[in-house]
Amino acid sequence: MDKVLFSFGHGFSARALAARLIPRGWRIIGTTRSTEKMDEIAATGVEPVLWPGTDVTGVLKTAPYLLISAGPNADGDPVLNALKDEITAVAPALRWAGYLSTTGVYGDHQGAWVDEDTPLSPATKRGQLRVEAEAAWQAIPDLPLHIFRLAGIYGPGRGPFAKVRKGTARRIIKDGQVFSRIHVEDIAQALELSMARPDAGAIYNLCDDDPAPPQDVIGHAAELLGVPLPEAVDFETADMTPMARSFYAESKKVRNDRIKDALGWRPTYPDYRSGLAAMLRDDL
């Protein structure tokens, strides 16, 4: 079959892609590390595979499209650690391989613009691991690799509304802080366009058209819900987990011109206001 996608780490973005492809006759095989998620994945029409724990070499030989969403850890890229030889063997037969990375590879630019030609200088350990993982995938001979550097992802079930409704949301204020973000449906649209027009070696930023301070997003969510504006808290004195604080180590605005020019991609949700409004309409 031509329309077969093997999805490693079948999570939020991969599920949105599968929801677009399955009605078009695609067969999607997705891995999960959790036995509890097997039925949940199957209910979406995706064939679930427990991995690690299942021999997937046969699937690798039959799927001409490969999506890698699984992130690296301190030991490196988990897919390549387990299956580098097998992937190298099938690489020449693949039509498309997509690796979901992060705009964190660019590091901190104090609110300035970055694009795909910006040198990689991650400010966090997570970003450094992504740089190393990108390079490891790029080193596989004859692999038709496409790297997608994703901004902060939001969408159904993942956004500010739950915390705002609970009254636990805060507007963390750090002078000059700005983030880019993207709705998960716009990621799925971009991946589908790329799969239809492969360009091995391509690197694309995926983000909307309106980088914005995080406190503006929280404030707008409260406005949409008709609830009081969440408390404003200074970043320096805010009680935050190390993980949450690390997100504020980088401030930049990300350009998306390359994928627009190459594939004609246009975000359905070009800013957080349109994305949040759509989520609220669907009561998510």
Q: For 63-93, how does the pLDDT look when each residue is reduced to its tens digit (9 = 90+)?
A: 999 999 999 999 999 999 999 999 999 999 9
CATH classification number, 4-156+182-207+255-268, choose in 1.10.150.120, 3.40.50.720, 3.40.50.2000, 1.10.150.130: 3.40.50.720
Does residue 98 carry a pLDDT above 70?
A: yes
Amino acid at 179: F
Map tokens 């636990």 to a residue: 168
With pLDDT > 70 as the criterion, what percentage of the chain qualifies?
99
Boundaries of every domain in the chain: 4-156+182-207+255-268
Amino acid at 160: P
Q: What is the mean pLDDT of residues 162-190?
A: 94
- CA–CA dist 152, 92 (Å, integer): 32
Q: Give this prediction's pTM.
A: 0.95
- CA–CA dist 188, 15 (Å, integer): 9
At residue 120, what are phi and psi to the nearest 5 degrees?
-85, 120
- CA–CA dist 244, 85 (Å, integer): 36
pLDDT tens-digit series, residues 142-165: 999 999 999 999 999 898 998 899
